[in-house]
């Protein structure tokens, strides 16, 4: 029996889904959404808050301020509610309505940015508002998930060791990228523990994480409109980019088999199965990290009219194909580390 007194004390660490029967490739999916925040972001949020408390940066009068596309905002809302902090989340118009309502239900203030003025896209507008809020009130504490080393340390200390325990003969690890906290924590751990593990980063088309011009992205979670300050490409073997249409197909395919995952997970699974289809899988042990669950995407990815309007009828057709099949795969890849 598990008994807790604060919500962040519970997180299911050792649940994996065998996607072999579903995708036709040997792939295990580490499910990170089974906690009260509903995503892997609980780990980074907990690590950053506790580090700020230890350093004296956070006091009982502090107001937590953070920019988030959704999941970190929910995690910080939960922790702030449990600890008695005020929390103000700056998000943008792509944030799911359910996510915003969850933050508000836990007592957080949510500011939604919709104007991309300034040339930095929605992320740039969010960061500008965060800086303005902090400048206007010295009680504001910005944890800055984009630059905070405790973001990646959470996964160096928890996520990667858990995978290593479960799969001591791991060959390939697929990790979705946004701030790159999960990627860098896992990559640094495996570089020290077993350098032969191949680290494949999975990004969204339209993201500028690994260079290139940022483009339209409608699904919150993975990707950024700039290169993340936490990213060190020397730790990454390859980068895979996935079209959002393939994200939608993959999510809906998994849902037809009873697994309701979020957009970030759909992107990672699509990228992983496409990579495995290209590289061959005999004797391979591969793990992909599933950052989120799907309830927050019911009015977008799983809503037929929304998906059809953005990506066409083809994303809705349950024709039995898996994302790694030749006709479906629209992923692109390139090596990262020399």
Q: Do 7-38+156-335 and 41-142 fold alike per CATH?
A: yes
Q: Answer whether residue 250 shows pLDDT above 90.
A: yes
Q: Are strands 332-335 and 198-204 parallel, antiparallel or unpaired?
A: unpaired
- Domain ranges (residues) in the chain: 7-38+156-335, 41-142
Q: Answer whether residue 71 shows pLDDT above 90.
A: yes
Q: How far apart are the C-alpha atoms of 72 and 292, rounded to whole Å?
A: 11
Q: What is the pTM of this model?
A: 0.92
Q: Token pair for residue 214?
A: 């940022």
The CATH number fitting domain 41-142, selected from 2.60.120.10, 3.40.250.10, 3.30.420.40, 3.40.50.1100: 3.40.50.1100
Name the H helices within 116-213.
Answer: 121-136, 149-154, 160-166, 181-193
CB 167, CB 28: distance < 8 Å: yes
pLDDT given for residue 325 in this prediction = 44
Express each pLDDT in 215-237 by its tens digit.
989 999 899 988 999 999 999 99
Q: Answer whether residue 330 shows pLDDT above 60.
A: no
CB 269, CB 254: distance < 8 Å: yes
Q: Answer whether residue 338 shows pLDDT above 80.
A: no
Q: Token pair for residue 226?
A: 């700039």
CB 148, CB 45: distance < 8 Å: no
pLDDT given for residue 333 in this prediction = 57
Q: Looking at 75-89, 104-118, 124-138, 194-208, which range is the least confident one?
A: 104-118
Backbone angles phi, psi at 182, to 5 degrees: -65, -45
CATH topology of domain 7-38+156-335: Rossmann fold (3.40.50)
Q: How far apart are the C-alpha atoms of 202 and 272, rounded to whole Å?
A: 8
Q: How far apart are the C-alpha atoms of 96 and 298, rounded to whole Å?
A: 9
Of the pLDDT bands very low, low, confident and very high (cuts 50, 70, 90), residue 212 is: confident
Q: How far is CA 244 from CA 30, 222, 264, 270, in A?
A: 21, 11, 10, 10
Express each pLDDT in 54-70 by its tens digit.
999 999 999 999 999 89
Q: Answer whether residue 50 shows pLDDT above 70.
A: yes
């Amino acid at each position: 029996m598990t008994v807790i007194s604060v919500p962040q004390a519970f997180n299911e660490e050792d649940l994996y889904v065998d996607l072999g029967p579903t995708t036709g490739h040997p792939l295990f999916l580490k499910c990170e959404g089974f906690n009260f925040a509903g995503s892997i972001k609980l780990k980074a949020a907990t690590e950053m808050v506790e580090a700020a408390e230890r350093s004296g940066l956070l006091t009982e009068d502090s107001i937590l301020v953070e920019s988030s596309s959704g999941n970190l905002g929910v995690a910080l809302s939960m922790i702030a509610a449990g600890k008695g902090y005020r929390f103000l989340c700056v998000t943008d118009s792509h944030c799911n309505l359910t996510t915003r309502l969850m933050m508000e239900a836990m007592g957080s203030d949510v500011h939604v940015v919709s104007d991309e003025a300034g040339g930095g896209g929605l992320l740039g507008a969010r960061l500008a508002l965060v800086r303005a809020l902090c400048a206007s009130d010295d009680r504001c504490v910005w944890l800055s998930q984009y630059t905070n080393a405790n973001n990646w340390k959470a996964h160096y200390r928890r996520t990667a060791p858990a995978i290593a325990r479960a799969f001591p003969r791991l060959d390939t690890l697929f990790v979705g990228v946004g701030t790159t906290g999960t990627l860098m924590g896992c990559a640094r751990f495996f570089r020290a523990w077993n350098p032969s593990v191949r680290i494949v980063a999975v990004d969204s088309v339209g993201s500028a994480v690994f260079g290139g011009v940022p483009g339209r992205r409608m699904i919150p979670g993975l990707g950024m409109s700039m290169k993340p300050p936490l990213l060190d490409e020397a730790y990454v073997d390859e980068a895979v980019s996935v079209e959002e249409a393939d994200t939608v197909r993959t999510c809906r395919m998994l849902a037809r088999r009873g697994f309701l995952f979020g957009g970030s997970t759909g992107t990672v699974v699509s990228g992983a199965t496409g990579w495995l289809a290209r590289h061959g899988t005999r004797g391979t042990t591969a793990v992909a990290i599933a950052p989120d669950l799907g309830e927050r995407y019911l009015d977008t990815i799983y809503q037929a009219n929304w998906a059809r309007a953005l990506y066409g009828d083809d994303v809705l057709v349950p024709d039995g194909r898996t994302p790694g099949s030749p006709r479906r795969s629209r992923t692109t890849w390139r090596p990262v580390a020399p």
